Amino acid sequence: MEVADGFPGAVPVRDSKVPQGSALCFDATAWAAFIGELKVRDRRH
């Protein structure tokens, strides 16, 4: 998975094994909440 930077307010994500494929674009706030939850879950295990 690759996450691009330089897109204010958005977080484009694509499959690094298929770089010519399409990307998903997430709202930066939603992405931050998602990553925050992953970090919380990681600390629990």
Which tens digit of pLDDT belongs to each residue from 3-40? 999 999 999 999 999 989 999 999 999 999 999 999 99
Provide the pLDDT for residue 41: 82
Model confidence, pTM: 0.74
Give the per-residue pLDDT at 44.
Answer: 77
Cα gap 30→16, rounded to integer Å? 21
CA torsion sign for 3, 16, 33, 12 is positive
43 band by pLDDT with thresholds 50, 70 and 90: confident
Query: How far apart are alpha carbons 35 and 7 in whole angstroms?
Result: 17
7, two tokens:
């897109």
Q: How confident is the model at residue 42 (pLDDT cuts 50, 70, 90)?
A: confident
29: left (phi over 0), alpha (psi -120 to 50) or beta: alpha
φ, ψ for residue 20 (rounded to 5)?
-85, -5
